[in-house]
Structure 1
Amino acid sequence: MSDHKHGEMDTKVQEETFSGFMTWVTRTAIFCICLLIFAYMVNG
């Protein structure tokens, strides 16, 4: 087994995945809020 050295792992892929996930979550939340506002205005 190789020796683990703290702080030497390449986390670029994980950071890109997390960034993409957060972008998706943010856009989905904004869409849901806009949809709720639209539904409120139509059914007022």
Structure 2
Amino acid sequence: MAEHKQGSMDITAQEKTFEGFIKFTVRTVVVILVLVVLLAIWNG
């Protein structure tokens, strides 16, 4: 078996994917909150 050395793996693709996921999640939450506030204002 090959010897595994911790910290030697290239994880740039995983980091980019995670960064994109976080951005998408934050933007989605902001849009939902804005829609909820607008619905609350319009329905009084």
TM-score normalised per structure 1:
0.94
1:1-16 matches, cutoff 5 A = 1-16=1-16
Q: Taking every aligned residue pair, what percent have the same amino acid on both sides?
A: 39
Give unmatched runs, 5+ long, in structure 2: none
Show CA shifts across 1:1-44 (max 9, x none). Answer: 32110110001000000000000000000000000000000001
What is the number of residues matched between the two proteins?
44
Could you tell me which residue of structure 1 aligns to residue 34 of structure 2?
34
Q: Distance in 2 between matches of 1:43 and 1:19?
A: 36
Structure 1 segments of 4 or more deviating over 3 A? none
Over aligned residues, Cα RMSD in angstroms?
Answer: 0.6
Give unmatched runs, 5+ long, in structure 1: none
